[in-house]
A and B are shown apart, each in its own frame.
Chain A
Amino acid sequence: MPMTDNSAAKTGAATEGARARDRLALLTADNASVPLPAGVQAVTAILLAALLIALPWLGLGYRFLSIAITTLYTAIGLYGLGLQFGQAGIMSVGHAALMGVGAYASAILSVQLGLGFWTSLPFAMALSAIVGGVIGLPTLRVGGQHYIIITFCFCALFVIVLTNGGTFTGSATGLDVGSVTPLPGINFDKLSNNYYLVLAALFLALAATYLIGISRYGRTLRAIRENEQLARSVGINVDLHKLGVLMVSGLFAGLAGVLQLYYLRHISPTLFGAFPSLYLALMVMLGGARYLYGPLIGAVIVNFLPEVLNLDPVDSRIAYGVCLLLVILLLPGGVAAGIKNIYCALAGGFDRQGGGLNGRA
């Protein structure tokens, strides 16, 4: 004998005022788990890919393209952070240091052993993943707040080690590398080719994030984020998955770090310290960690905002602070959540009790 529920009928009888309030709530809500129709997802993906591929041909200039490259490799690092924070609920404020592990590993392999971009990349990514997992070990015993502090300490320690590493790490001056080993017919000294290299990596990161999001693995991570005790009681190995996602996040960070290294051709410890780490945390929250395009949106806003508004570094920090406060207060799901909600409101028929909209934005 199935049981019945009459809550839907009750909602239907809501008054006009309550409905208006509902509408506002829907615009600001975090609807990451309510998917969009497959068609909408596909069109968004194609338009975005077309725009990103066409970017070097739009005649926006050298400076614009440089910022675009910075934005994209930052976004790749953010996709790792988005996975661990957005899906599994584990925030880090030391993520730049994890990118730094990849960047320095690759730079040291180049300086000491003469390994180029392509050969050092897998080692750098693997090392970032391992370090990410090792930093994560204490989280299994202590709570998430402690992990945040541990990541911050790791970040500070990493900078100290690099600064005192002598010629091995280049100390405060840092290390230099050559350019990316050319592929047949493609010379990465050309800025637009470097852009496409980073863009290809971003597409990989996006694809991986998308596939994880719709997979059983993604659901398992979200279960841990939502209720650890219940996750255990349905048979999920919470500890293993937490370590696992931190290592996957480390892979993304390592990839981003190596791309950063070979774009800048010179790295130094300050690139991977507390401030860059906090900026990464800011970007992922600003954009929306739970949304497919959230990390990219966050990276675009933070990297292009000072350029568009002509802000100096101090002003832009204040602007970020204000932005973050506004987003946290008004849009807990990030800018991506706002965009998705506006789309849903315009498309109509957003029905909390279930209805038409399926897919992640």
Chain B
Amino acid sequence: MAALEVRGLRKQFGGVVALNGIDLDIDTDRVVGIVGPNGSGKTTLFNVVTGVHPATGGTVSWQGQDITNIGAHRIARKRLVRTFQQAMSFPGLTVDENVRIAWEQGRRGGSRWASPGMILDFVGLAPLGKAIAGSLPFGSLRRLGLAVALGVSPELLLLDEPGAGLNDSEAQAFAAVIAQLPPQGIGVCLIDHDMDMMSELCDRLIVLDFGTKIAEGPPAEVLADPKVREVYLGPDKKAALS
């Protein structure tokens, strides 16, 4: 049994069907990638799984417990934690305070970090501890988003395009940090558009299109799948690629 089991998950916004019956099994010992064109429902999947939006149908279970629609803060307390596509922080507070807030929440039942400072060291933000989060350059803000999520002591971390808006070297450094997580017992489920990075980081790729899972498997296999190539390149270009 996988740690996170999603069954028949549906989400409708008015007439828009953002998720149309998604089944997923995600474990906490590896990096799983989720890809798909813009608007295919990747962010909505995270939002529904973590209780930001209520599900229209289907179930989410985590470590054997049904967590469908139990509320975002309860899900976070069960150590299923996510970051946001728009880099988020507590902008008026210091970097130290940002991380301490998350760390204090994650301390219930024991934290994997002895202190918030360890998290800052881990993501490389230690020198900026006294800076106000709202004044950070974008790259540091992304790292702060990761630090805050890690502060909750997650067992599975859902990362929504953590590399978006970063330059190549920043994105590479970020990927290196992400690769360190599963060996420490933090599973990662990662949304990103950079296929090279995804192939390198992920043990498994899941492809969404129009709220449906159209492919799943090892990156090389999935990227060679004609259905996936069609989604990314359009039916007319299929011939040119092969």
Contacts and interface: CB of A to CB of B under 8 A. Distances in A.
A5 B106 contact: no
B177 A3 contact: yes
Given A2-B122, A223-B90, A227-B90, A233 B82 contact: yes
Interface string B90-119: 111110010011101110100000000000
A238 interface: yes
B173 A3 contact: yes
Given A220-B101, A353-B131, A5 B139 contact: yes
B132 interface: yes
A234 B93 contact: no
A33 B152 CA distance: 22
A354 B90 contact: no
A230 B132 contact: no
Contact of A232 (B76, B94, B137, B143): B76
B212 interface: no
A157 to B, nearest CB: 32
A315 interface: no
A355 interface: yes
A34 B132 CA distance: 8
Task: Classify the interface of chain A: helix, strand, loop or mixed.
Answer: loop
Contacts of B97: 33, 219, 222
B105 A227 contact: no
Nearest to A30: B92
A235 B52 contact: no
Interface string B112-148: 0000000001111111111110011101100100001
B93 A5 contact: no
Interface string A26-66: 00001011100000000000000000000000000000000
Task: Classify the interface of chain B: helix, strand, loop or mixed.
Answer: helix
Contact of B77 (A33, A34, A226, A235): A235
A141 interface: no
Contacts of B130: 34, 353-355
A236 interface: yes
Interface residues of A, number: 33
Contacts of B50: 233
A164 interface: no
Contacts of B73: 232-233, 235-238
A33 B82 contact: no
B106 A235 contact: yes
Contact of A223 (B101, B129, B137, B177): B101
B168 to A, nearest CB: 13
Contact of B124 (A2, A223, A231, A234): A2
A1 B152 contact: no
A176 to B, nearest CB: 46
A240 to B, nearest CB: 9
B174 interface: yes
Contacts of B139: 5
B194 to A, nearest CB: 17
Contacts of B128: 5, 7-8, 353-354
B20 interface: no
B17 interface: no
Interface residues of B, number: 52
Nearest to A219: B101
Contact of B143 (A3, A229, A231): A3
Interface in A230-259: 230-238
A8 B126 CA distance: 13
A230 B88 contact: yes
B170 interface: yes
B195 interface: no
A354 B129 contact: yes
B159 to A, nearest CB: 12
Nearest to B88: A230
Nearest to A2: B124
B151 A234 contact: yes
Given A4-B124, A235-B73, A230 B89 contact: yes
Interface in B211-225: none
B64 to A, nearest CB: 20
Contacts of A34: 94, 130, 132
A16 B143 CA distance: 31
A219 B100 contact: yes
B105 A235 contact: yes
B84 A234 contact: no
Given A220-B101, A227-B90, A235 B140 contact: no
A146 interface: no
Contacts of A7: 128, 136-137, 140
B105 A33 contact: no
A291 to B, nearest CB: 13
A8 B102 CA distance: 25
Contacts of B91: 226-227
Contacts of B208: none
A3 B76 CA distance: 26
Contacts of B71: 232
Contact of B92 (A1, A33, A220): A33
A353 B121 CA distance: 17
Lowest 6 A-B CB distances belong to which pairs?
A354-B130, A2-B124, A226-B90, A3-B124, A235-B76, A235-B105
Given A5-B124, A234-B76, A234-B151, 10 more contacts: A7-B140, A33-B92, A34-B130, A226-B92, A233-B76, A235-B76, A235-B102, A352-B132, A353-B130, A354-B131
Interface of A: 1-5, 7-8, 30, 32-34, 216, 219-220, 222-223, 225-227, 229-238, 352-355
